[in-house]
Every structure is written in C-alpha cells, then in structure tokens.
Chains A and B, each alone.
Chain A
Amino acid sequence: MDRTRLNIAVGIFVILGVVALGYLSVQLGQVSFLGSRGYAVTVDFPSVGGLKAGSAVEIAGVEIGRVESIGLADYQARVTLRVRSGIKLQEDAIASIKTKGLIGEKYIRISPGGSDKIIQPNGRIREVEAPVDFEELLSKYIFGKV
C-alpha cells in the first residue's frame, strides 16, 4: 500500500520535472510553439554583422518581435522578422541593427515613421541602417594614410 503511494509520488515528481525541463528549454531556446504568430516582414541589410535568428526586434526598447531567419539575396543579407500582430509599421519606418551596450548582443531597432501607409504582411522595410563596424572605422581613420 505504502509502496504504491511512494511510487505514484515519485512518478508525479518525475513528470513535473520533465514538464519543467520542457518549459525551460522552450523559454531559453526562444522557440515559439504555436508556429508563426504575428506577421512576417523582410529587411535587406548590406551587412548584419552578428545578428542571429532569434535576435530581438524592438521599438523604444520594447520587444515587438524576433528575427525569424537570415539569408543571402543578391549579396545582401535578407532578414525576415516576425512582428507581433497589432503592431503597425509605417512605410517610412527605419530598421537599424544596434548593439546592446558596448559589446552586447545585436538586435534590430525600429524607429517608427509618420507615413499613412502601413507595411503589409510579407512586405519590406525599405529604410535601413547597417551596423557601424567600429573596427573598420578605426582602421580607416588610423591607417587611412598610405
């Protein structure tokens, strides 16, 4: 009798553990279970320099989506964003790749525009700012002289 109860208790504990582990991995891995919530928007950057799939997309520091995938199109980086539905992006919004802090991870900052035209799902953000490559800048101004 006692034996069975102990077994059940252990069983429940193990199941709870597995559920917790599953939850943790989904949270940490930033996997969205329900597949694609929100809508997709593409952005072409001359370079993405360290941006990864899963990186955050922010407006005013608030996360409004994530980078879904990064591919190459015509020797430019084509980034597909998954933006939360309900967030409207104007046609003249600017997408910039920024760094959190001085050496932190890269994310995409969107500065909202003022146009009446809204970017439709699967549309494209035309205005972009590539990340500033500090090493390149430094070398340019230090070693510029030939």
Chain B
Amino acid sequence: MFAHALALVTALLLVGHGPDRAWAGAPTDQLKAQIERTVKILEDPELKKPGKQRDRRAAVRQVANDIFDFSETAKRSLARHWAARSQAEREEFVQLFGDLLERSYISKIELYGGEKIKFVGETIEPDGAIVRTRLVTRQDTEIPIDYRMHARGDKWLVYDVLIEGVSLISNYRTQFNKIITTSSYQELVKKMKSKQEEFIQEEKRTSQR
C-alpha cells in the first residue's frame, strides 16, 4: 500500500517537474507547426501578387520570431565577446543580427517552389533537443537540415540550424571573432549597420521600379 502511494507521488512529481520528459515529441510538433505556417504564407496566392512582397516577408519574419530564439543565436555567435558587452550593446546587436539573418535567409525563402520537408527524427536531452529534417528538392535531392532547440517555458525555440552538418552559429562565430580580434567590436557593428542601410536603399529602389 505504502509502495503504491510512493510510486504515485513520484510519478506526479515527475510529470509536474519535468517539462522535458512530459513534452516528448514537442520540439518536432512545434517546429512542424511553424514550418507549415511558413509554407502556407509562401503559397498564399494573395501574398504572391506583385507589390505584396513586403507583407509576405513581414509575415515570414513573424513566424521566424515565434520559433527562433534570435537573442540566443546572437549570444552564441558572439561567444566570448558577448560577456564584455553592455545591456544596450547586447540589445542593439541582437537587433542587427536579426536583420542580418533576415537579409541572408528570409529573402532567399522567396525562392521557395514546392520543396518538401521530411521529419526524420529527434533527440531530446536534458538541456536541449535536435530535430532532424530533410529538405527534398524538386530534383529529389535530399538536403539534411538539423534544428537545435531548447525549451523556454512550454515553448521550444530554435537557436541553431545545421545545413549539411554546417552550423549557422559556428559560421558567424568564426566571422565575428575574426572581425573583432583584427579590428574591434565597434567596427563589426558599423559594418553590420552599413550593410543594413545598403539593403534598405536597395529595397526602396526595387519597390519604386
């Protein structure tokens, strides 16, 4: 009798305490939902019309904000240089980094043309999860894309993406480190700002045409 009660209490404690365990399968489900949302936006005929490009991109960015933990990605990319930054600098950097990712990736996502995404597996560890997917192109080539996620409350957020095994954070970490050690952090921020300026100007020109 006592043993039964004890088992019950332990079970309850485990369920109440371990969101990681209780949420088995959650990272994949949450990622899947957001990817489906993105595909829906991209296939929306209303948003495909010319002149709607900005709305479309904004909608995609919205989804990205919901599933990506940009501040974690920015922090990890800056690595040991993050600790030396003030609160204001960190906020500015996260913003600039978000813009950089939008420029590099969200604008590319408009090239989407019916590729399929297969979910092939997930690994959940005490402090994170990996969701493995394959992007199947129209030529039937499979490109492995792995998402590294961590739990924030009841939400799983992506902080790193590995395409063909190459990590996004690793890529930026190397580049940022090189710029900061050869010149300075201020130089890096200046560079990122001017790139963003250029991009906005370019956008204006194309939308006026």
Contact = CB atoms under 8 A, between A and B. Distances in A.
A46 interface: yes
Contacts of B162: 129
Contacts of A140: 141-143
B194 interface: no
Interface string A108-133: 00011111100000000011011110
A144 interface: yes
Interface string B49-81: 000000000000000000000000001101111
A102 to B, nearest CB: 17
A111 B160 contact: no
Contact of A94 (B82, B128, B143, B167): B167
A95 to B, nearest CB: 10
Interface string B161-203: 0101111011001100100000000000000000000000000
Interface string B27-42: 0000000000000000
Interface of A: 46, 90, 92, 94, 96, 111-116, 126-127, 129-132, 137, 140-141, 144-146
A96 B79 CA distance: 16
B137 to A, nearest CB: 7
Q: Is the interface of A mostly helix, strand, loop or mixed?
A: loop
Nearest to B159: A92
Interface in B60-111: 75-76, 78-83
Given A111-B173, A144-B140, A145-B139, A129 B166 contact: yes
A140 B136 CA distance: 12
B46 interface: no
B93 to A, nearest CB: 12
B79 A114 contact: yes
A129 B173 CA distance: 13
A56 to B, nearest CB: 18
Contacts of A112: 79-80
30 contacts: A46-B165, A94-B167, A94-B169, A111-B170, A111-B174, A111-B177, A112-B79, A112-B80, A113-B76, A113-B79, A113-B80, A114-B75, A114-B82, A114-B83, A126-B125, A126-B127, A127-B170, A129-B162, A129-B166, A129-B170, A130-B165, A132-B164, A132-B165, A132-B166, A140-B142, A141-B141, A144-B140, A145-B139, A146-B139, A146-B140
